[in-house]
Amino acid sequence: MHYRRLGRSGLKVSEISLGAWITFGNQIDQQAAIDLIHTAYDQGINFFDNADMYAGGQAELVMGEAIKGLPREALVISSKVFWPTMPGPNGRGLSRKHVMESIHASLRRLGTDYVDLYFCHRYDPDTPLEEVARVMDDLVHQGKVLYWGTSEWEAQQIAQVVGVGRQFGLVPPSMEQPQYNMFHRRRFEEDSAPTCRELGMGLTTFSPLYQGILTGKYNQGIPEGSRASMEDLAWMRDRITPERLAKVRSLTAIAQELELTTGQLALAWILRRKEISSVITGATRLEQLDENLAAAEAVDLLTNEVLERIEAILGHPAAE
């Protein structure tokens, strides 16, 4: 396993990490989660990503049980705050009230005294940035959060909150978590990555396989038990278009030439970008975890000629 710095911070995270979105507390049971996390840890993964709204808080409970028995100081655990998780008008957003109540709830569910990374899960237009920056600064000084960051914020919003921190002498954000994959590129490549590079922030990207579409599993339809077959993920079916499937089939041909799976090709394509601190992957089975981990060794196979062929298939990134 290779480890990369989180931006200009001193923290090192595994370049491939394991996330809880959709799987923990939803697709897999407690024992499967334990097996995945312990196997991932044994193979060098130290970063495990979560959020308070995943499976209505159940994902944090599942992860909290799964990390028991592992050395806490060897783990990098994250959570996020923004989406509605509590009743009433203050049960969402980035107000001091909601952030404080949310971090305590997350820590209880995870069974830990602190999270290493804490993300503002979206930008909150109803809360002043000074209030957001100050509550995060307080959490860092209280030792409940070691590093804080943003997720899916626009470049201008990130720059503004960094500016607020500088103005008032507050701990600045250390990382941004954007979506990035072969089918979702423009915002990252033209917005997030340049801004975070300039500000010294790390990037922990999610959805590298575009909810599994870039593995090729949907090339012949929607398999029973897959994410797209789940009723609460019906929105995924709109993303499985003939145009995208045609591109996946062409990418599969390149992957086979390189003796890779299509998913490994898609992961290696992301990992080649050194400004990315970690690529957050999901898995429901140990075989998927092993396949994802093997992608790290495939980066050297992506020669300029291969990258040009991939770009010819993908075309210029569409507006997102």
Distance CA 144, CA 272 (A): 33
Find the helix or strand (DSSP H, E) in which 205 lies: strand 202-205
Which tokens sit at 299? 């980066």
Q: Which two tokens stand for residue 33?
A: 């989660």
Tell me the one-letter amino acid at 8.
R
DSSP 15: S
DSSP secondary structure of 271-317: HT-TT--EEEE--SSHHHHHHHHHGGGGGGG--HHHHHHHHHHH-SP
Phi, psi of 18 (to 5 degrees): -120, 125
What distance in Å separates the CA atoms of residue 116 and residue 75, rounded to the nearest whole number?
8
* Active site (catalytic) residues: 54
Q: How far apart are CA 165 and CA 163, in angstroms?
A: 5
Give the CA radius of gyration of the chain.
Answer: 19
Measure the CA–CA gap between 187 and 189, rounded to whole angstroms: 6
Of 278, 295, 273, the C-alpha closest to 18 is: 278
